[in-house]
Amino acid sequence: MVDKELQAIQALLTEDSIEYPGYVATEGILLFRGSMYLRGLLQPFNILNQVFEDIALDFITGLPKSNDKEAILVVVDRLTKYGHFFALPRHFNANYVANVMVQGVIKLHGILWSMVSEPEKIFVSSMWKEMARLQGTEMCMGTSYHPQTDGQTEALI
């Protein structure tokens, strides 16, 4: 007896599938025919010695509007797990976030040693690189859905 749902899925996953390129289902096995990009070995983070010398950043977006703000910047100290939450407008840019970081984190805790963030456009911008360069801060790019880099801000959220 053949499962009708499985047949429907197998019909979608053919060699010339436009919807799911690179995937093929044959004899009940799902195959991927494409390139896997391995970016290198995971690098361990430094051992932490001081509060707020190393932080993790993440954004919560798509929230209901409140006082013209629709997003939250989450900043977590990786040593103590203490968090700061900053309301942001729906359309924010690197300059705006850098200003929030300077006013809300660096003024309180001093210059950072490193920042861990997801490799999104806002973090790769020239503003972040310049801010880091001026402060002597090491930039550490995290990987989305990777517990060692993304987990601390996700757990706090």
Interval 23-61: pLDDT, tens: 777 776 777 766 656 667 777 777 888 999 999 988 898
Give the pLDDT score at 23.
Answer: 73
Say which residue the tokens 């995971």 belong to: 42
Q: How far apart are CA 28 and CA 24, in angstroms?
A: 10
Packed helices 94-101 and 126-135: angle between N→C axes, nearest 10 degrees? 30
Q: Where are the domains of the chain?
A: 1-35, 54-156
Pick 59 or 83 by higher pLDDT: 83
Quote the pTM value.
0.57
More confident residue, 49 or 13: 49
1 pLDDT band, cuts 50/70/90, is very low
Residue 70 structure tokens: 């629709």
Closest to 125 measured CA to CA, from 97, 149, 157, 91: 97
Q: Residue 145 corresponds to which amino acid?
A: Y
CATH superfamily of 54-156: Ribonuclease H-like superfamily/Ribonuclease H (3.30.420.10)
Please give the pLDDT value at position 151.
Answer: 64
